[in-house]
Amino acid sequence: MKKILLIFGTRPEAVKMCPLALELKRREDAQTLVCVTNQHREILPPVLDAFHVTPDASLDLPTHAPDDLAGLTASLLDGLRGVLDAFRPDLALVQGDTATTFAGALACFYARVPVGHVEAGLRTWDMTRPWPEEFYRRAVTLMARWHFAPTDQARDNLMREGVDRSRVFVTGNTVIDALRTTVQDDYVNPILTWASSSRLVLVTAHRRENLGPPMERVLLAVRRAVEERPDVKAVYPMHPNPAVRRTAEAVLAGCARIRLTEPMALADFHNVLARCFCLVTDSGGVQEEAASLGKPVLVARSATERPEGVAAGTLRVVGTDEDRVYRALTELLDDPAAYASMAHAVDDYGDGGASRRIADILLQEL
Ligand code: UDP
């Protein structure tokens, strides 16, 4: 029987790969194996638990400083070489644009294992933003045999780079498959109870190029807007990166209507997202999730690789200038017409059937 190996290692990859792993494991025409690299040592396991996915291989990576990308890449390549030698898959799947995605595709390229790229074709066309993700996804495009583009625009980006059209499949994004399993009408958790009579601003921030002053400016804008409005609260589930936590604690601590929390479990996060007033984020996948739930998103970056939500009006790219973020946020909070113009669900990112489509295509190709 043919073997398919899924390789992933960070929280966002796990959110988008677990629905596909479960879909493939339901099919009897191939054997599906899961290798996790543990690039996100702390925040990966809760996502695996949420989907009841048990890895068949799990790398024991040495600890690297957050900015030691060369060391991380070397360790990933070394570990993945062993997994590929042991499993000898007929094809492998990587997702998105992380160091694991890049090293996974490269290890497969060296081992002559054909690779499928899930969420292919996202681009800002600026190699420095997001850094290093824009490089990782472009490099993986060069190495992949199958390109699963989430949207028509992502497909067009791949065409522009000369990718063979017959190898590109528009499938929707598997993140929407995940969202369909987690959001529930009767969900309760302590943050939702705390914010039940307020408008809740949900904040996430962790992009490397925003570490330090840019993130500080964004959080200062949020703090100002919240402090001026007694009916508004904010919650920021902090990323484990120590540099992110230092800034968040320095800027936001001591404000009674702002909660800094540990990273939320996936179902908690999705249900808070589904009930919040709006979102301020520099995250990637959260833009798709929020837009598909009809939540206005202020994107604290200078460019987004998710332009569909911008065209639909639900995402607004506001950068990291404090006054600009403040003005955009207070406009949403104070002007119902401005809010209504952004608060509508975007269906461009998927319909919940992406995993099924990818599985169908792969099994046919095998
Ligand atoms: N997420 C989560 N708990 C949190 C914050 C985010 O489970 O406290 C999920 C979120 O729903 C999304 C993914 O993590 O699916 C996004 O991860 P992140 O923002 O770290 O990565 P990016 O998408 O920016 O690469």
What is the domain-level CATH number for residue 137? 3.40.50.2000
Q: Give pTM, 2 decimals.
A: 0.96
Q: Nearest to residue 322, comparing CAs of 244, 225, 246?
A: 225
Residue 184 lies in a domain: no
**Confidence (pLDDT) at 66:** 87
| Cβ–Cβ < 8 Å for 32, 7 | no
User: Is any ligand 1 atom within 6 A of the Cβ of residue 11?
Assistant: yes
Q: Which of 64, 167, 208, 229 is catalytic?
A: 208
% of the chain at pLDDT higher than 90: 99
**Would you say the CB of residue 172 lies under 6 angstroms from ligand 1?**
no
Split at pLDDT 50, 70, 90, the class of 42 is very high
State whether 26 and 156 are in the same domain.
yes
Beta bridge partners of 200: 233
Active site residue 133: yes
Q: Is 264 in the pocket of ligand 1 (CB under 6 A)?
A: yes
Q: What residue owns the CA closest to ligand 1's atom 17?
A: 12
Residues 85-111 have a mean pLDDT of 98
Whether residue 179 is contained in a domain is answered as no
Strand ranges for 90-209 from DSSP E: 91-95, 115-118, 146-149, 168-170, 199-204
Tell me the backbone φ, ψ of residue 91, rounded to 5 degrees.
Answer: -155, 160
- Ligand 1 centre to CA of 227 (Å) is 26
Catalytic residue among 13, 23, 97, 268: 97
Looking up tokens 């808070």 gives 272
User: Same domain, yes or no, for 335 and 355?
Assistant: no
Q: Average pLDDT, stretch 54-78? A: 96
The secondary structure of residue 58, as a DSSP letter, is: E
Q: Is residue 178 part of a domain?
A: no
Contact predicate 225/329, CB 8 Å: yes
Task: Decide if 239 is catalytic.
Answer: yes
pLDDT in tens, 163-220: 999 999 999 999 999 999 999 999 999 999 999 999 999 999 999 999 999 999 999 9
At 80 the pLDDT is 98
Digit-coded pLDDT (tens) for 245-279:
999 999 999 999 999 999 999 999 999 999 999 99
- Note the helical H segments in 195-349: 213-227, 242-252, 266-275, 285-292, 307-312, 322-334, 336-342
CB distance 269 to ligand 1 below 6 Å: yes
Q: Which domain holds residue 96?
A: 2-173+350-365
Do 195 and 250 sit in the same domain of this protein?
A: yes
From the list 155, 206, 223, 270, the catalytic residue is: 206
Q: For the chain, what is the domain count?
A: 2
Q: Coil, strand or helix: which one is 283?
A: coil
The proportion of the chain whose per-residue pLDDT surpasses 70, expressed as a percent, equals 100
Closest CA relative to residue 244, chosen from 289, 290, 282: 282
Is residue 206 part of the annotated active site? The answer reads: yes
C-alpha 207, offset from chain centre: 11
Average pLDDT of span 15-32: 97
CA of 212 from ligand 1 middle (Å) equals: 20
Question: What is the mean pLDDT of the segment spanning 281-304?
Answer: 96
* pLDDT value for 79: 98
Average pLDDT score over the chain: 97
Q: Does the beta carbon of 290 sit less than 6 angstroms from any atom of ligand 1? A: no
64 is annotated as an active-site residue = no
Ligand 1 lined by 307 (C-beta under 6 Å): no
